[in-house]
Amino acid sequence: MAIRQLRLEKDEILKKKSREVDVIDDKIQTLIDDMIETMYKFNGVGLSAVQVGVLKRIVVIDIDDGTGVKVLINPKIIKTKGEHEVEEGCLSFPNQYAKVIRPKEVTVEALDRSGKKITIKAKDLLAQAIAHELDHLEGILFVDLMIPGTLEYVAPEKQ
């Protein structure tokens, strides 16, 4: 496993649409492992493959609720319910936060890392993380969706 370099806000790849994964092979498994390690290294709750420069429809999420990391390959939101205003940040936009409108609940279908079809019904933070990461797969960034005037820069903590 390896820490991958994060693509940051001005990188044009972040605006590109990701492609479906056709075969879940060793290369994809290595990418997933690297994405998980990178997400944890930078204290994220989610990471999409495009954020490490790979235009594949792969997302990893861990909201630290004790259920572990979720790996979603070729995910699609098939249902949403409600919406609410939430504050959001992004590993590709370090120290920046803004308010966006996200669904309160989502149902997503995807493949897990073994290729098995899964369905996840999520609410609150998990629903928000899924919606955020799936937007990345379409080249949509949280700053594209932010409520005007809510972007804040927070100075990084000194080590």
Say yes or no to pLDDT of 1 above 60.
yes
Task: Please tell me which residue in 12, 83, 88, 133 is annotated as part of the active site.
Answer: 133
The tally of domains found in the chain comes to 1
Residue at 43 is within a domain: yes
Question: What pLDDT is stored for residue 157 in this prediction?
Answer: 72
| Cα–Cα distance, 77 to 112 (Å, whole number) | 15
For residue range 41-98, list pLDDT tens digits in order: 999 999 999 999 999 999 999 999 999 999 999 999 999 999 999 999 999 999 999 9
- At 94, which CATH number? 3.90.45.10
Question: What pLDDT is stored for residue 158 in this prediction?
Answer: 56
- Name the percent of the chain lying above pLDDT 90: 96
Partners of 95 in the β-ladder: none
Question: What pLDDT is stored for residue 155 in this prediction?
Answer: 86
Determine if residue 75 is left, alpha or beta; phi over 0 gives left, psi from -120 to 50 gives alpha, anything else beta: beta
Which domain, by its residues, includes 125?
Answer: 12-153
Give the predicted TM-score (pTM) of the model. Answer: 0.95
Residue at 158 is within a domain: no
| Cα–Cα distance, 153 to 99 (Å, whole number) | 13
Residue at 146 is within a domain: yes
Q: How large is the average pLDDT for residues 142-156?
A: 94
Residue at 4 is within a domain: no
12 tagged catalytic: no
Question: What pLDDT is stored for residue 159 in this prediction?
Answer: 44
Residue at 6 is within a domain: no
